[in-house]
Amino acid sequence: MQASIAKNNRIESIDIVRGIAMVIMALDHVRDFVHIQANVDDPLNLQTTTPILFFTRWITHFCAPTFVFLSGTSIYLQSLRKSKKELSSFLIKRGLWLVFAEITIITFAWTFNPFLNVFALQVIWAIGMSMIVLGIFIGFGFSYQLIFAIGLMIVFGHNLLDIPEATTGFKAGFWWDLLHHSNFAFYQVVPNHFVIIAYAFPIWAGVMMLGYCAGKFFTSSYTQQKRFVILSKLGIGLIALFIVLRFLNIYGDPVKWTTQPTALYTFLSFINVFKYPPSLMYLCITIGTAFILLAFLEKIKNRLTDALTIYGRTAFFYYILHFYIIHIVATILFFTSGKSVDYAIKAAQELPFLFVIKGEGYSLSVVYILWIGLVVALYPLCKKYDRYKIAHKEKWWLSYL
């Protein structure tokens, strides 16, 4: 009976936190498409931002590492009911599918470019490649301990590559960007076809490996109370590590924090950590927070957590739909403002997203209203899809969505 309860709570707590990540993520993407400053300046630029704009962007840092980490956790739970060969094969095939989906379905949602001559390697690409790497490791019989050691080495050691990057005259090339730096590097791969490298995948593979190893805590071997203690300590420990290392300002993030004109902006500088690629400090503060949420939310069940669970269980479905809906709304706003298709095509030479114009858009209040409307509108669709998945477990292709 206890094992059954632990299993149910385990699944719900993971999906609740994943659902929170999906809801917050949508805020950032609505801002990308409709905020007047979205494509003009970095909302984390302390010289030009405001506190509300800063936190609107900063809070969404939580999303990608939490989702990648919990994807690894879910893979560990799958390993309890699949052979290593079955799991390895599934991960490699699903990883390849996600990479394909990124450069086709999701790229089109971003750009509305029917020629698909500009595609971005973003979080779904990183998840897909991480699954392929983990699938290969599992297929070759890598032990739990070895996967854990490799994950730790990548996550805690990858910022050593910041040292050569900081040298005078260093220039990152395609492979360096693909494997480490990323940060929206733009390359022509063949004539008139370009790739934007937003996510370098090795560090995310390390995050997924550690998430895989953390899956052990969500098995029936751990009582709810024991899991609460472990996750709380891990979360507090990671946040404490963030505070100590960030204060020392020596290692863990390529951009040092600095004293600003006010205490508030000094604090913003302190927490303004690097995402592309995700620094050690970035991962400590975000995954540390995720651990604490996992610990506390396991004990909570109400209508809100039920709704978040739906978003968490239908994450990929939600992810694809929310992009198309946001871009369609942005397109409607574009045409209702009196602009033409010709205007959009000309503007796309500067920003490769049709019907999104650099320097034009709406206030943050409009962003928040559209975000809330989007999340509410997606709920019945996600709920219906979740029921379909439960009722049709025999359909193999649903496991890839």
Q: Of the ranges 34-38, 74-78, 167-171, 295-299, which one carries the lowest mean pLDDT score?
A: 167-171
- 380 pLDDT more than 90: yes
Question: What pLDDT sits at residue 1?
Answer: 35
List the helix and strand counts (H, then E) for the chain. Answer: 17, 3
Average pLDDT over residues 54-59: 98
- 66 pLDDT more than 90: yes
C-beta atoms surrounding 39 within 10 Å: 17
Average pLDDT over residues 150-175: 94
Average predicted confidence (pLDDT) for the chain: 94
C-beta atoms surrounding 29 within 10 Å: 22
Q: What is the per-residue pLDDT across 102-119, written as a single tens digit (0 to 9) for each? A: 999 999 999 999 888 899
pLDDT band for position 128 (cuts 50, 70, 90):
very high
Q: Is residue 366 packed enough to be buried (19+ CB in 10 Å), middle (13-18) or exposed (0-12)?
A: middle
Helix, strand, coil content of the chain in percent (nearest 5): 70, 5, 25
Residue 167: DSSP 8-state: S
Q: Which helix (DSSP H) or strand (DSSP E) does residue 187 occupy? A: strand 185-190
Q: What is the per-residue pLDDT across 203-245, written as a single tens digit (0 to 9) for each? A: 999 999 999 999 999 999 999 999 999 999 999 999 999 999 9
pLDDT band for position 3 (cuts 50, 70, 90):
very low
Average pLDDT over residues 116-128: 94
Determine contact, residues 33/330, Cβ cutoff 8 Å.
Answer: yes
- 9 pLDDT more than 50: no
- 63 pLDDT more than 50: yes
Distance CA 186, CA 198 (A): 9
**How large a percentage of the chain has pLDDT more than 70?**
97
C-beta atoms surrounding 276 within 10 Å: 16
- 121 pLDDT more than 60: yes
**How large a percentage of the chain has pLDDT more than 90?**
86
Average pLDDT over residues 292-312: 95
Burial of 65-96, coded b for 16+ CB within 10 Å and e otherwise, reads bbbbbbbbbbbbbbbeebeeeebbebbbebbe
Determine contact, residues 311/23, Cβ cutoff 8 Å.
Answer: yes
Distance CA 357, CA 277 (A): 27
Determine contact, residues 269/253, Cβ cutoff 8 Å.
Answer: no
Question: What pLDDT sits at residue 190?
Answer: 87
Q: Which pair of structure tokens corresponds to residue 265? A: 């902006």
Question: What pLDDT sits at residue 395?
Answer: 81
Distance CA 401, CA 398 (A): 5
Q: What is the per-residue pLDDT across 246-276, written as a single tens digit (0 to 9) for each? A: 999 999 999 999 999 999 999 999 999 999 9
- 331 pLDDT more than 90: yes
Q: Which helix (DSSP H) or strand (DSSP E) does residue 185 occupy? A: strand 185-190
